[in-house]
Structure 1
Amino acid sequence: MTKLSIEPVTRVEGHGKVTLSFDDSGKLDKVNFHVVEVRGFEKFLEGRYIEDAPVFTPRICGICQVSHNLASARAVDNVFGVKIPKTADMLRNLMQQASNVHSHALHFGMLASPDLMFPMTDDALKRNVLGVAAENMDVVKDAISMRKIGQTIIQKVGGRAIHPVTAVVGGQSKPLTEEERDELLKMSENLVDTAERTLVVGKQLLDGLKEQNLLDLGYFESYHMGMVNNGAQDIYEGKIRVVNPEGKIEYEYEPSEYLNYMSEGVRPYSYLKFPYLTEKGPVDGVYRVNTLSRLNVCDKMPTPIAQKYYEEFVKTFGKPAHHPMLFHYARLIELISSAELIRKFLEDDAIVGTDIRVEPTDLVGEGVGCLEAPRGTLVHHFKTDDKGIITDANLVVATVQNNPAMDIGVQKVAEKYIKTPEDAKPHVLNHMEMVIRAYDPCLSCATHTIDGKERMLSMDVYKGGKLIKRL
């Protein structure tokens, strides 16, 4: 038996690989996507005060850290049974939209555009941000510009650009000042235009993929999941909606009911779990999350310019659209939507209000927080004892939910292009990576858990320079 591997899969967050196995006659036997890192945040959280969760969970990832922070904060609010004030809610939503801008701009400009510009080249030295800059410097400049705006908003609202700290039980610990609001308004005045310009470039590159018969890389049909708020796409709050492969609504439920609909399986070749819709089973119940799925489940976009592009997208590709390469297109529509919402929030005088926190008075003992991270539906679920100590933590992370889709996607590419080891040319192997990168996986997020049977890593807690606890 012959084995080939792509290790590591590049231009993704975290560590993964793809293996291709050929039988003794030289024919392709099987293909798998492996995630080869292990972490343990659910175990870290057990025994900690529930108020600590929004501080701990952003450390899962440095890219989607805001989403982890806010999902935990919402879960903690529910543990205490509090409803946060309007201004606090606006500040959190503003930070969520800024995180979406930073992440989507980073992905398109640095990680995805090399695939879209150079899909057929065997020269790996060209398929990177330097190659993109040589081809179209504006793509890189615009990505950096938008990311800077997103990160600056997070810093002003969250206290820090990485791992924000202001989302606390009952609301926010810090208001946004008039001076900060004015600075952000000035900085973001061209943000929507820049996002639109980026979408135009993305559409042109995807047209090029179609001309090269590469738009269907990794194509398969599945269920799709995402949050909606009165039918509109919403990455901050709402109900979870699932549509079937034909686009019919299969389920729509409150985030607190997620355990009634989702299950997880394991496979020996990956540390990532393989989620599925419980009622449909592990084979037929494969579903996808992330930008394309959010467009597939919603009835409309929440902002006018994004709505225009959404309608054009549906007219061109139908609904639901199943092509993994269209996650890029959907990502750029969302980039515009988040840019529009940032302007809307900053132009609202309520954003600089000072009523930003209510003190908790009760302890319910269990809470779920859910929102749409840049990479898909994210659920944080905590249980506590009567002292507010976490006894159980369950984190359902976006990339984990797309793990079956990425596994299927690389198999589809291999089945189409690779019959024998000689067919595995560099650009063909890159086509498998292109499918993975279309989902923009965050493998650090996805490997947030261990089963507790084996101590694979530890975390030391110090106070005053002294070790007080080892987790």
Structure 2
Amino acid sequence: MLKKIEINPLTRLEGHGKIAIFLDDQGNVDNAFFQVVELRGYERFLTGMPIEEVPRTVSTICGVCRCVHFTASIKAADAVYNVEPTPTAKKIRELLLNAHYVEDHCAILYALGFPDFVVGPTASAATRNLIGLIQAVGAETGKLVLKKRQAAVKVIEMLAGRPIHPVAALPGGWSKRVTEEERKEILELSKEMVELAQLTLKIFEDMVLKNKEYMDLVTGDVYKVVCNYMGTVDDKNRVQYYDGIQRIVDTKGNEIGRFTGKGYLDYIAERVLPWSYLKMPYIKPLGWKGVMDGEGTSLYCVGPLARLNVADGMDTPLAQEAYEKMYATFGTKPVHNILAYHWARAIELLNAAEKVQQLAADESITSPDIRVELGKPGEGVGIIEAVRGVLIHHYKTDDQGIVQEANLIVATTHNKGPINVAVRRAARHFIKNGQVDEGILNYIEMAYRPYDICLACATHTLPGRLPIQVDIYDSKGELYRTLRNY
């Protein structure tokens, strides 16, 4: 009879989940499952709601991810009304999103990721946290990081009306123009953001890149998941967050396809799991291949490392230098070593800070032309790069703009399969002959932390009647039903 080890609750993540590890008679790992045990259900909450109320509502899915749901849903609302926002409104939205990137990436790196490296993977849980990290890098450095991160929060509050749950967006535009005084203030604040990003990359270099033990983990096979990747690029294949084309590449970097808007239906299918509230998407043209990585897998990753893997570079100079350094270190592309997500996150922090600076330097962002007239409501898809990866909001409304159906595919949902592979691989590597301690369990938790998972964002309901394919499997992994809504 298999013996079960459970890591419950999981630590240093947003939401509630657990890991179930099953050992064979010799005490070695037979299998391991990353399970999500909470349900949010926003896809049902939104039914019957006026589409213009949706952005403010979905921002409450998560206090961490509020700006990204806000932005994706307002893009979907634009599409529902068949309008394109004014150039100024798009710049304001992009400015908000990039400020959110700075604030969020900073929080995730320092609170969730860095403690495993700066404090140590096997350090006591009492010190392997943000407080322990500050003690390790010094109180003055800790204060400096918090102060400079606050610059990004201030920009979010100025643009969106609130620092936590935004309220300023409207279908077809924005409700509040940026004044010249605000633009100048944001420009000054952006300098602190760039300094924060540069400091973060230096800490990563000093604490991780110069540490052979850590680099063996970063570049080794224990934390390696070979899968496909999805991310958003511009017409020059550079990383984009607010707008662009969603690109998918295979395990060797060859392009599988590109899509925008409702085109996601041609590439993404969602599998419902009997043991988790989190669905497991896969690349539809490849077909379901199981919870396995390697060449030919249909699983795919999104997020910072995935974005860099699908792109040919960054669109700001300092971030481009950091991008080139990372790939030169690994000597290959795509990089499948998942601890590199932390490095990619730090590079994006710099990229977003530089973009805030560029947008704030553009005086046209103060134009009063911030909204267009709306058309007749219908159906719309909004896609952005959330901090954690590709975020899709899809709504269908009646002729009064009342939501009839909703589907949300969130970054953590995209990453469900690879996360499960990573957890299983780490468990099989570190647990031998039934020997388990706190340090070993943390090494296993380190397999999901690179993905910066947000379980509140990712758990809703089964899809409604929007055109989508869902494969339902029994407890033995056998397909017994496929739901097609088209």
Q: Which amino acid aligns with 1:228?
A: V
Q: How far, CA to CA, are the matches of 1:339 and 1:196 in structure 2?
A: 10
TM-score (norm. length: structure 1):
0.92
Cross-structure match for 1:382: 395
Q: How far, CA to CA, are the matches of 1:181 and 1:223 in structure 2?
A: 40
Q: Deviations over 1:299-358 (max 9, x none)?
A: 110101101111111222121001110000000100000000101111110111111011
Post-superposition shift, 1:46? 0.7
Unaligned ranges ≥5, structure 2: 290-296, 465-486
Q: Is the 8 A contact 1:84 1:170 kept in 2?
A: yes
Post-superposition shift, 1:27? 3.1
Post-superposition shift, 1:208? 5.4
Cross-structure match for 2:45: 44
Cross-structure match for 1:135: 136
Equivalent residue runs for 1:18-417 within 5 Å: 18-137=19-138, 140-207=142-209, 210-212=212-214, 213-215=216-218, 216=220, 217-230=222-235, 231-283=237-289, 284-317=297-330, 318-363=332-377, 365-417=378-430
Q: Is the 8 A contact 2:102 2:193 kept in 1?
A: no
Q: How far, CA to CA, are the matches of 2:308 and 2:395 in structure 1?
A: 29
Q: How far, CA to CA, are the matches of 2:102 and 2:148 in structure 1?
A: 7
Q: Is the 8 A contact 1:226 1:297 kept in 2?
A: yes
Q: Which amino acid aligns with 1:160?
A: R
TM-score (norm. length: structure 2):
0.90
Post-superposition shift, 1:366? 0.6
Post-superposition shift, 1:16? 1.0
Decide whether aligned partners of structure 1 residues 95 and 221 sit closer, same or farther in structure 2, where only a CA change above 3 A counts: same
Identity over the aligned pairs, expressed in percent? 40
Decide whether aligned partners of structure 1 residues 290 and 243 sit closer, same or farther in structure 2, where only a CA change above 3 A counts: same
Q: Which amino acid aligns with 1:359?
A: E
Q: Is the 8 A contact 2:47 2:404 kept in 1?
A: yes
Q: Which amino acid aligns with 2:106?
A: A
Q: How far, CA to CA, are the matches of 2:251 and 2:321 in structure 1?
A: 24
Q: Is the 8 A contact 2:280 2:416 kept in 1?
A: yes
Q: Which amino acid aligns with 1:349?
A: E
Post-superposition shift, 1:447? 1.1
Q: Deviations over 1:176-209 (max 9, x none)?
A: 1122222222233232122112112113333256
Q: How far, CA to CA, are the matches of 2:169 and 2:361 in structure 1?
A: 22
Paired residue total: 450
Q: How far, CA to CA, are the matches of 2:449 and 2:26 in structure 1?
A: 32
Q: Which amino acid aligns with 2:180?
A: E
Please identify, of 122-131 and 339-348, the stretch whose mean Cα deviation from structure 2 is larger: 122-131
Q: Which amino acid aligns with 1:237?
A: D
Q: Is the 8 A contact 2:8 2:19 kept in 1?
A: yes
Post-superposition shift, 1:405? 1.1
Please identify, of 195-204 and 365-374, the stretch whose mean Cα deviation from structure 2 is larger: 195-204
Q: How far, CA to CA, are the matches of 1:315 and 1:331 in structure 2?
A: 17
Decide whether aligned partners of structure 1 residues 280 and 361 sit closer, same or farther in structure 2, where only a CA change above 3 A counts: closer
Cross-structure match for 1:465: none
Q: Deviations over 1:157-183 (max 9, x none)?
A: 011111111111110000111222222
SS at match of 1:121: coil
Q: How far, CA to CA, are the matches of 1:139 and 1:221 in structure 2?
A: 36
Q: How far, CA to CA, are the matches of 1:19 and 1:361 in structure 2?
A: 50
SS at match of 1:233: coil
Post-superposition shift, 1:379? 0.5
Q: Which amino acid aligns with 2:263?
A: E
The answer on 1:444 being equivalent to 2:459 is no
Aligned-residue RMSD, C-alpha: 1.6
Q: Is the 8 A contact 1:400 1:446 kept in 2?
A: yes
Q: Deviations over 1:253-279 (max 9, x none)?
A: 223200110011122221111110012
Q: Which amino acid aligns with 2:102?
A: V
Post-superposition shift, 1:66? 0.6
Q: How far, CA to CA, are the matches of 2:205 and 2:287 in structure 1?
A: 36
